[in-house]
Amino acid sequence: MISNLAVAILNGVVWGLIMALIALGLNMIFGLLHIINMAHGALYMLGAVVAWYLIELTGSFWIALIIAPLCVGLIGLIIERGLIRTIEDKPIITIICTFGLMLAVQQLVLMTFGGSPRRIAPPVAYRFPIFELQYPLMRIMIALISIGLMSGLWIFLRKTKYGLWMRAVVQDREMAVGLGIPVNKVYMWTFILGSALAAFSGVLAAPIVSVEFMMGREVLIMAFIIVIVGGMGNLEGSVLAAIMISLIQGVGALFVPPSVATIFALAFMIIVLLFRPQGLFGE
């Protein structure tokens, strides 16, 4: 029992860190552009699919981990310049537009990649013992990579010029324009960064789950839950909420069926939406 619990907690933290990455991307895009990107789950899926092809090509998970987010970031650039820019300031229309994009991307992958799930073998196969069970070292590495990426993001937002601009636009867009900050460019880079984060999340999840064209659909909802519980526009809140929700789901699944655990998470989210729309950790 104790070993099951330890594994559930570890899994919860690892998965929470992966989900934190995708939720951070979604939340950054929301915080700056004030839009909900329904295609965000599809970008996560694209990250995993591109990684699968890259691994077939080069044989290295680590190369895929770097190249796939770059590719998806480029796709993000095209989406932002081609679509989002033209419907600026129309949040509801953007939801519909990105929903259409999600459909198109999913089906494009279905046509090229196929409908059957495929596996990416973890590049590190070593397992270490926890009490009487074995735990894959790869998952710990995935967690560490996630933490590394988030630390990088934190430093980027706090210490660089672009990071400062981004925070300024979040606080007061009019004032930022007045001070000569290239808001348009900041939007572009935010969307690229958000897309790349979704792709990172997808590549890191790939050795744990199987890669298939619908893998982003449920994850998108998970990311929504995290962003809302953590507070829209509150990045630290997203990370906390991701780990918290994932832990509750993982540990809860030891005692109740997973579907019941998910329903509780969703009901909890409705309560948060109604009574604390600024999120659990907001002011």
Of the two residues 70 and 110, which places its CB atom closer to another protein in the complex? 110
CB of 91 to another protein, least distance (A): 6
3-state helix, strand, coil in the chain (%, to 5): 75, 5, 20
Cβ 26 vs Cβ 223: under 8 Å: yes
Q: What is the contact surface with another protein in residues (CB under 8 A)?
A: 36, 83, 86-87, 91-93, 95-97, 99-108, 110-111, 217, 221, 224-225, 228, 257, 259-260, 262-263, 266-267, 269-270, 273-274, 277
Q: At its nearest, how many Å lie between another protein and the CB of residue 7?
A: 24
| CA separation for the pair 155, 241 (Å, rounded) | 21
Distance of closest approach, residue 174 Cβ to another protein, in angstroms: 20
- Residue 148's contacts (CB-CB under 8 Å, 6 or more residues apart) are none
Rounded to a whole number of angstroms, the minimum distance from the CB of residue 160 to another protein is 29
Q: Which is nearer to another protein, 59 or 277 (CB)?
A: 277
Tokens standing for residue 141: 């590495």
- 112 vs 160, which CB is nearer to another protein? 112
State the Cα–Cα distance between residues 86 and 274, nearest whole angstrom.
32
- Closest approach of Cβ 179 to another protein, in Å? 28
CB-nearer residue toward another protein: 154 or 281: 281
Which residue in 278, 252, 275, 247 sits closest to 263, CA to CA?
A: 252
